[in-house]
Structure formats: C-alpha cells, structure tokens
Amino acid sequence: MLLTGSPEAIQSRGPCVLVPTMGALHEGHKALIRQGADLAEAQNAPGGCVVTIFVNPTQFNDPADFARYPKTLEADAQLCREAGAAAVFAPEVGTVYPPNEPPPVPPLPEVATRPGLEDAFRPGHFAGVCQVVHRLFDLCKPSAAVFGEKDWQQLQVIRAMAREQNLPIEIVSSPTIREPDGLARSSRNRFIPEADRRAATAISQALHLAGEQRSPAEAETAMNRHLQAASVAVEYAVVRDAQTLLAPAADRPCRSLIAARLGPVRLIDNMPWPDASRSSASAG
Ligand code: AMP
C-alpha cells in the first residue's frame, strides 16, 4: 500500500475510488474502505481504493475542536492496509491550500443551509467541507467516492454538489457502524467524559423510539422527551425529508436527525423514519 502526500503519485495510478477522512480511523471508516475496495475491483478502477487523511482546518468553526482532533497516522495506515486500500493520500496543508493560489470555494448547495440543522450550530462548516472535498476530487481524480450515512446532511450536501457541478464522480453511501450499545462510532467518542458515556446511548435509543411513532410530530416529541430525561443537551432532534431535509412530505422517505452535546463533545446521529421494520409491518 502506497502512503503519499503527492497528488501526482495518486493520479499516475489512474482513476480510483476515494474515501475522504480526517484520520483517527475506526470501524466505521474501515467499513467505508472495504466498500471502496470492493467497488474499485468491481469497476476495474486501476487506482484501487484511495483513502485521504486530512484534518481540514476550513471546516472547523471551533478552534479547540481543531486543536484537539486526534492524529494517529501510523495506526490509520495499518487500518487502511487491513481494509484493502491501495493507497493513503495524506497531503500537507500547503498541497491542499497553496498560499499563492487558494482553491475556489464551490457554490454551497441549498441543502447545506436548512434552518435548524448543522448550519445553525456550525455556521460555515459545509462551505469548508465542500471546499475540501472538491479540492480532494481535483487532486485525486476519482471515478467514485464513498461517504458515510453517519453524517447524513453532509452526504446530501456532497450529492447535491456533485449533481449541481456536473462532477463525473459517482457518490456512494455506506451505512453507520455502531458500538455494541448503539452509539454511532466517531473519532470524537474518545473524548466523551466517562460520566456521560451511558447518557450517550440515549441518542440512538431516541432515534429508535422516533421510528416507532406514527407521525413526524410525535417522533420529534418522543426524541426530545427521551433525551431530556437522560440529561442530554439537545441541539436538534427532528424529522425531515431524507433528501431535501425540508419538512417531511407524505410518501417521501424521511430521516430522524439528532445533534447533541455531552460535556465537551458534540455528537450527531440519524436513522430512517419510520423504522424500516415498522414501515414493512404497516405495509404488510
Ligand atoms: P470523518 O473522518 O469523521 O470526517 O469521516 C470520514 C467518513 O467516514 C465520512 O464519510 C463519515 O460519514 C464516515 N463515517 C464516520 N463515522 C462513521 C460510522 N460510524 N459509520 C459509517 N461511516 C462513518
């Protein structure tokens, strides 16, 4: 497996399947990389699966969060190797953002700024995400890229950006990988204070509970009640149209989405609404 900071070294291998990450890799990333490696093989992409590891300064609106973001390149490279990556692209900041010619910030898709979701709590975050993903696409020239459902709004933003900019890149999604107690895996989980670790499971419980309710309004009430009872500081706990993230519309897939804070850590998670087993039960 190649480990490089050189875009030329990546491009010279031919079209690849890209898995963009910020490192501190865990089982969730591993599943994405495995999926990327399988896809590269199925598509005969000569560059194989390329994992990018870059902690992007432009998408952090909290300097403390950026400063403490874990950096574990050696262990990350090992995980990538095990998961079947052909290469790791870990560029320097100056490669991604050359001081003399800063890369353009692509137009922000509307789905990035839906009121009450990420933009309300992390203003500017998706502008940074679009900028870095667009730049990584440009540096690595992939034919496809894999993103996790864990960051649901981000996935919709990237899909919209690719569509609106006519990028010749297939955007593929990968399901959320969880701890045994239901907590979605995240590089930030290691910072959850021990005393809050049990409360953190209330997030996935609330999403399951939402899935059992008969209407989006009841689902939102159930989520907020459950999180409040567990003393979780909620930023939002809502049901939205799964693709547009506007208010839910009848006969369109919906998603329950939560953002919450546990001590110094901000966690996000989501699940389909209604619960898949409930919708198939009611359909039957
Ligand atoms: P990050 O390194 O946190 O920026 O995440 C890199 C990619 O991994 C993104 O596409 C995330 O959505 C995805 N990801 C992060 N956590 C998980 C998880 N628990 N399950 C599946 N995908 C994940």
- Compute the distance from residue 184 Cα to the ligand 1 centre, in Å: 10
Average pLDDT rounded to a whole number, residues 219-235? 98
All residues at 6 or more sequence positions from 142 whose CB lies less than 8 Å from its CB, including other chains: 15, 16, 17, 18, 47, 50, 169
Q: Which atom of ligand 1 is nearest to the CA of 185?
A: 19
Please report, in angstroms and rounded to a whole number, the separation of the first and last CA atoms in the chain. Answer: 49
Task: Round to whole Å and give the CA distance between 257 and 225.
Answer: 15
- Give pLDDT tens digits for 110-169: 999 999 999 999 999 999 999 999 999 999 999 999 999 999 999 999 999 999 999 999
- Compute the distance from residue 265 Cα to the ligand 1 centre, in Å: 16
For residues 37 and 148, the answer to whether their CB atoms sit within 8 Å is no
Residue 102: predicted pLDDT: 84
Is residue 147 in contact with ligand 1, taking CB distance under 6 Å? yes
Percent of the chain residues past pLDDT 90, beyond the cut: 93
Average pLDDT rounded to a whole number, residues 161-187? 98
Q: Which atom of ligand 1 is nearest to the CA of 146?
A: 10
Model confidence at 281: pLDDT above 60? no
How far, rounded to the nearest angstrom, does the alpha carbon of residue 33 sit from its chain's CA centroid? 13
**Confidence category of residue 270, pLDDT binned at 50, 70, 90:** very high
Catalytic positions, written as ranges: 29
Choosing from 22, 27, 29, 30 the residue with most ligand 1 atoms within 8 A of its CB, the one to mutate for a pocket test is: 29
Helix (H, G, I), strand (E, B), or coil: what is residue 163?
Answer: helix
- Compute the distance from residue 100 Cα to the ligand 1 centre, in Å: 31
Is residue 32 in contact with ligand 1, taking CB distance under 6 Å? yes
Model confidence at 284: pLDDT above 60? no
Residue 243: predicted pLDDT: 98
- Give pLDDT tens digits for 54-79: 999 999 988 999 999 999 999 999 99
Is residue 187 in contact with ligand 1, taking CB distance under 6 Å? yes
Helix (H, G, I), strand (E, B), or coil: what is residue 60?
Answer: coil
Model confidence at 277: pLDDT above 80? no
**Confidence category of residue 255, pLDDT binned at 50, 70, 90:** very high
CB neighbourhood size of 121 (10 A):
15
Structure tokens at 200: 């953190």
For residues 89 and 47, the answer to whether their CB atoms sit within 8 Å is no
E strands present in 175-249 = 233-241
Query: Mean pLDDT over all residues of the chain?
Result: 95
Q: Which atom of ligand 1 is nearest to the CA of 148?
A: 12
Residue 155: predicted pLDDT: 98
| Residue with CA closest to ligand 1 atom 22 | 148
- Compute the distance from residue 95 Cα to the ligand 1 centre, in Å: 23
Q: How many CA atoms does the CB half-sphere of 102 hold within 13 Å?
A: 7
Helix (H, G, I), strand (E, B), or coil: what is residue 269?
Answer: strand
Q: Which atom of ligand 1 is nearest to the CA of 184?
A: 19
Model confidence at 37: pLDDT above 50? yes
Is residue 34 in contact with ligand 1, taking CB distance under 6 Å? no
**Confidence category of residue 278, pLDDT binned at 50, 70, 90:** low
